[in-house]
Structure 1
């Protein structure tokens, strides 16, 4: 039996705790005797979450059982963490077989020196702070979660669920993880290197109407000719003026925006339809399956067929 221990503190975000723990609890229902879930606060007293809920821990940190998976959630309480909590993590974190953080829980791991020399992520809004305050940590703001050795860090709330599902799949197999995902009405799991933002969320909305219209056009027509020249014509601007204005107002080049939109559209078709890879590549503007494969490997580290296998194994077979 694997003990999953969640560290609680005042100001913790409740979903950072309950999201991953619901996954492990679901695994225990499907495969009894696999996980034992425990929670602990500094002194064993109840803690008040950032949403006002009160969580009652099982133990104090000093009396907590040895853990297989040590879960460190985030929340407002990570801004000024109790030194005793950081000291406890510094001592006990290396003893856990798996050390997992959700959202700004990565800041607590960094404060304890456990992320030095490692690649890590956290919520996108706190990645600059993590990088600035802990230069020994290689901070990557893009993925929803990162595994580096026995340490795994994740971004916002839902990515903690994705990471927990990945860990359950690692421990108990795909079928158990799939059953839990179905019960929770979530994807089996998003790949860890999936971006925290969609293209539309990652890019700012342009202030000027012609550029906003072009952004929407790209999203609705990923298979069309989306060259700078054609897009500039839609905005009634010269290509050079359009490219500069688009980047200034959205924060990314037209080419980068087009690449993200096409990748997202292709992923949705792989997940939700039985269309073949060749057909999807044409629909999304890649032209050939090889061009789409290169785009997937570059952005996600996996080929389209493997991506589909993770989400729709029946279709991949």
Structure 2
């Protein structure tokens, strides 16, 4: 049963700078629009009032589309009911906050007085860096895109920077890792305000395969150990990740790499930072987890992932995986 929405809608203020990443704000904005649409179809009042503001009335986005009609940075956020300020990322390896527009936004952010349930901050991707520059993350836990984690640490040494998380909750501050994780975070917030059933309907409308939570890693296990440029190693990893259920061993992997088993092991350790069989085990555990979340029995998940038995899966799960029992992920018993 969905919660009754508040009589007074949440004011959601997207504060944009020139060249703001379009998907960082468009994705969450669409999720909020769809939530309002579902509420209206059920005869309920809309819950979110969207506003787009900035240091200037018009600006280009990251994809070159020109925005116009932006409202000025508001001065009455604390007097008109609950509000969320949404900060989004900018393109580039580092975030330049020296521009006149960024300085104006920074001054406005410094004037905000955040309070849980009243005035809250949502940072998408490198939007956390803008918040940190304004002193809004001091003493708070926060995350950002993995490319900007060190930059965030340098921006505010008193911010507890959390890596490899889809989003982090430390009210009144909420932050997400980057790009599509902003949608995950806003779905979570929709669920908090309007109930999980409505948030699930929004996710379904967005064709989001699986809503992710604050304890989920930013990087998929299937992408782990891939931060290298060695083509032969990528060839092996591609084959193993596509068919983890097959009978893999180091010798077979070495054939794909046109290398000896000993040399392949050296390549894995040097470039991927993991041994070949340990890499295979992590892929199989990830595959089993996907199967279990989809409702498969432990025995079936073990087969699909390439474990010789459900006993082998349970042992690997307890020793190298999330811990506990894989049965806990299943909605029904075996």
TM-score normalised by length of structure 2: 0.77
1:106 to 110, 117, 128: 128
SS at match of 2:86: strand
Q: C-alpha displacement at 1:165, in angstroms?
A: 0.8
Query: Residues 5 and 293 of structure 1: is their aligned pair in 2 closer, same or farther, counting only changes over 3 Å?
Result: farther
Contact 1:205 1:249 in 2 (8 A): yes
For structure 1, which segment, 251-260 or 114-123, has the greater mean C-alpha deviation from structure 2 after superposition?
Answer: 251-260
Residues 9-43 of structure 1, C-alpha deviation per residue, up to 9 Å, x if partnerless? 21211211111111111111112424232324344
Shift of 1:95: 3.5
Contact 2:55 2:105 (C-alpha < 8 Å) held by counterparts: no
Aligned to 1:4: 12
Q: Distance in 2 between matches of 1:168 and 1:12?
A: 23
1:278 aligns with 2:299: yes
**SS of the counterpart of 2:182?**
helix
Q: Distance in 2 between matches of 1:37 and 1:305?
A: 42
CA distance in 2, matches of 1:20, 1:110: 21
Q: Distance in 1 between matches of 2:75 and 2:126?
A: 23
Q: What are the Cα deviations for residues 104-163 of structure 1, in whole angstroms up to 9, with x where unaligned?
A: 101011112222233322112222222234332232331221212332211221111111
Q: Verify the 8 A CA contact 1:106 1:121 in the aligned structure 2.
A: yes
Report the CA distance between 1:72 and its aligned residue. Answer: 1.0
Q: 1:208–1:44: structure 2 CA closer, same or farther, 3 Å change rule?
A: closer
* CA spacing shift, 1:141–1:223, aligned 2, 3 Å: same
Residues matched between the structures, number = 306
The 1:2/1:304 distance shift into structure 2, 3 A limit, reads: farther
Range with bigger deviation, 143-152 or 64-73: 64-73
Unpaired runs of 5+ in structure 2? 1-8
Match of 2:25 in 1: 17
- 1:47 and 2:59 correspond: yes
Please say if residues 49 and 55 of structure 1, whose CA atoms lie closer than 8 Å, have aligned partners that are also in contact.
no
Q: Name the counterpart of 1:29.
A: 37
Residue 322 of structure 2 aligns to a residue whose secondary structure is helix
2:322 counterpart residue number: 297
Aligned counterpart, 1:218: 240
Equivalent residues of 1:109, 1:115 under 8 A apart: yes
Once structures 1 and 2 are overlaid, which stretch shifts more, 100-109 or 34-43?
34-43
Deviations 1:246-278 (A, max 9, x none): 121234443553344224322432354x42133
Query: Who is 1:237 aligned against?
Result: 260
8 Å CA contact 1:199, 1:260 repeated in 2: yes
Higher Cα radius of gyration: 2
CA RMSD of aligned residues (A): 3.3
Task: Flag structure 1 segments of 5+ consecutive residues without an equivalent.
Answer: 310-314
- In the other structure, the counterpart of 1:184 is 206
Q: TM-score, normalised by structure 1?
A: 0.80
